[in-house]
Amino acid sequence: MKKSPFIWDEYSDQPHIITDRNFKKKQKKKFLLEYLQMFLVFIIIFPVSFVWQFLMRYPKSKMQVGIGVNLDKGDIQYDLIEELGAKELLVRMPLWDIERIDDYVDFVKGFGSDKVITINVLQDRPHVEDLDLFRRNISIIFEKFQAISTELQIGSATNRTKWGFFAVSEYLKFYQVAQQVRDEFFSTIKLIGPSVIDFEYYYTAASLFNFKNIKFDKLSSLLYVDRRGAPENRQYGFNFKNKINLLASMVSLSPKTGNEIYITEANWPLKNTAPFAPTSEKECVNEKDYEKYMKSYIKIAKNSQKISKLYWHQLVAPGYGLVDNRDDVVRKTPAFYAFKQLLKNE
């Protein structure tokens, strides 16, 4: 992401907020009718899903816990992963960095053959606008990673304009290209989506209840609860446990996805780490609370028996990860050791 207004922030590992309000307003205006339809779908689906969660028999899952690692965080991650004892890894593959794909492949191979790898394909606006370009490059990604990973998450934070999508329909067309390439040439690969971030289930509903020829093999959610503090705290009446139950109910009702749910991002921003923290200082927590909230979050997700995999985001990141590497000094936070113990107890 290098072309304005879509610029990557290397500190917080996400795109900068688009400050040009006129640009966003102009782009979103094109999809005004779709936004109205999206909320109409949610008005119908929400009460049905809310009631259905008490009636359904959702398949029980024994949750696997993993963690995100990034090429740009360096080789220190190899030893850290071994120390943690982590076997499930989520690795980002940005489409705008496709020319370096061999570096990403080598990076993943460096963790050894005993790891289970999920590749997170990160989108950018050029690939959203030019689906032929996306078709070529997703084919390359499938080809390069097929011997390493059989699961790829298509897109990330797809309900955030700064990530390159202005409407659910844009994401579904994008996903559909990946699905077509997979179906034609790479039948063993499983595709994961729609990667909605936060408790914005109206986007999830629009992705799961539509007339598009799409199917998510597994559903991914970036289910952050950090802006509410502890996972037990409520948002619109829903705590983290309630959010999982509602999401599972929607998945159970939808013909567009398999029953497995992956939480592919979760964390809390850390105090006094600006500009690395992904939020304002107001939402940040100290390391003690981070550790406590993380343990509670993972416990709740595991006890729900509705989540198949949970990837913590991420290993090395001064503003929100388990390891702080500022000034080239590797410092493991209390949450690192807590995460290690959680994996040991699995």
Give tens-digit pLDDT for 299-336: 999 999 999 999 999 999 999 999 999 999 999 999 99
Cα Rg of the chain (Å, integer): 19
128, 154, 170, 193, 337 from 95: Cα distances, Å: 10, 11, 16, 16, 33
Domain ranges of the chain: 20-53+63-344
- DSSP single-letter state for residue 256: T
| ω into 314 cis (within 30 of 0) | yes
User: Tens of pLDDT along the chain (346 residues)?
Assistant: 777 899 999 999 999 999 999 999 999 999 999 999 999 999 999 999 999 999 999 999 999 999 999 999 999 999 999 999 999 999 999 999 999 999 999 999 999 999 999 999 999 999 999 999 999 999 999 999 999 999 999 999 999 999 999 999 999 999 999 999 999 999 999 999 999 999 999 999 999 999 999 999 999 999 999 999 999 999 999 999 999 999 999 999 999 999 999 999 999 999 999 999 999 999 999 999 999 999 999 999 999 999 999 999 999 999 999 999 999 999 999 999 999 999 998 8
Beta strands 323-324 and 331-332 are antiparallel
Give tens-digit pLDDT for 81-134: 999 999 999 999 999 999 999 999 999 999 999 999 999 999 999 999 999 999
Domain 20-53+63-344 has CATH 3.30.70.20: no
CA 72 – CA 96 distance, rounded (Å): 14
CA 87 – CA 96 distance, rounded (Å): 28
Maximum Cα interatomic distance, the chain, rounded to a whole number of Å: 53
Instruction: Give how far the C-alpha of residue 240 lies from the chain's centroid of Cα atoms, to the nearest Å.
Output: 16
